[in-house]
């Protein structure tokens, strides 16, 4: 299964996750680079799209798309990637390191709505959506502290315990898909 991990990250957690997935699968990796400051235009609901990728998406059996969730929405760089490369994508796995937990996924800012949107855009091409809530790396007394998880970032020091187990299960699952 020829796989590429394609990611967008603003603060680094999704970059870390994407790099970790690519390393585990020994596959290619490429960063999505928006044409203009994505966050500024996100607030204005304007999307200028992304720069052209170096890799040819149609050469891969599977794309693993990785990026954050903002305000309960599929963010412009990820949306543009799906729209631009839809016909070239064979199968897609969507992965996010986000703020929302599994318990809160269906709340207003949860990842559940974004997963439904990705599934409806990709239809049968979408194999799996997986969230890695960043709160998993926080100590138990900080897990519900929104200020703490907005400041939390994945790194080699905190990527252990339950998030490492979730990651290992995810890698095993996609290897079997």
Ligand X SMILES: Cc1cc2nc3c(=O)[nH]c(=O)nc-3n(C[C@H](O)[C@H](O)[C@H](O)COP(=O)(O)O)c2cc1C
Residues that bind ligand X (CB under 6 A): 9-15, 68-72, 97-100, 109, 111, 134, 153
Q: Which H helix or E strand runs over 31?
A: strand 28-31
Smallest gap from residue 155 Cβ to ligand X (A): 11
Smallest gap from residue 23 Cβ to ligand X (A): 17
Smallest gap from residue 81 Cβ to ligand X (A): 15
Q: In whole angstroms, give the CA distance from residue 51 to residue 35.
A: 6
Tokens 């239809």 — which residue? 123
3-state secondary structure of 114: helix
Smallest gap from residue 130 Cβ to ligand X (A): 13
The three-state (H, E, C) secondary structure of 143-168, written as one string: CCCHHHHHHCCCCCCCCCCHHHHHHH
Smallest gap from residue 83 Cβ to ligand X (A): 21
| Exposure letters 62-80 (e unless 16+ CB within 10 A, then b) | bbbbbbbbbeeebbbbbbb
Smallest gap from residue 140 Cβ to ligand X (A): 19
| Residue number, 62 or 135, with CB nearest to ligand X | 135
| Residue number, 4 or 134, with CB nearest to ligand X | 134
| Residue number, 104 or 125, with CB nearest to ligand X | 104
Alpha helices in 55-108, H assignment, sequence order: 76-85
| Residue number, 32 or 91, with CB nearest to ligand X | 32
| Residue number, 70 or 167, with CB nearest to ligand X | 70
- Going by C-alpha positions, the residue among 37, 143, 160, 149 that lies closest to residue 98 is 149
DSSP state of 64: E
- Going by C-alpha positions, the residue among 145, 149, 163 that lies closest to residue 95 is 163
| Residue number, 57 or 67, with CB nearest to ligand X | 67
């Amino acid at each position: 299964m020829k796989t590429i991990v394609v990611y967008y990250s603003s603060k680094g957690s999704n970059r870390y996750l994407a790099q970790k997935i690519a390393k585990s699968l020994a596959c290619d990796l490429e960063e999505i680079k928006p044409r203009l400051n994505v966050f500024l235009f996100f607030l204005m609901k304007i999307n200028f799209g992304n720069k052209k990728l170096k890799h040819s998406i149609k050469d891969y059996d599977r794309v693993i798309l990785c990026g954050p969730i903002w305000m309960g929405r599929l963010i412009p760089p990820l949306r543009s990637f799906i729209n631009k490369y839809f016909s070239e994508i064979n199968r897609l796995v969507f992965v996010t390191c986000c703020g929302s937990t599994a318990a809160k996924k269906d709340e207003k800012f949860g990842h559940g709505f974004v997963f439904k949107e990705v599934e409806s855009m990709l239809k049968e091409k979408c194999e799996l959506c997986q969230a890695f809530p960043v709160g998993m790396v926080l100590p138990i007394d900080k897990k519900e502290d929104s200020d703490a998880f907005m400041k939390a970032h994945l790194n080699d020091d905190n990527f252990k315990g339950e998030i490492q187990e979730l990651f290992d299960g995810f890698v095993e699952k996609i290897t079997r898909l």
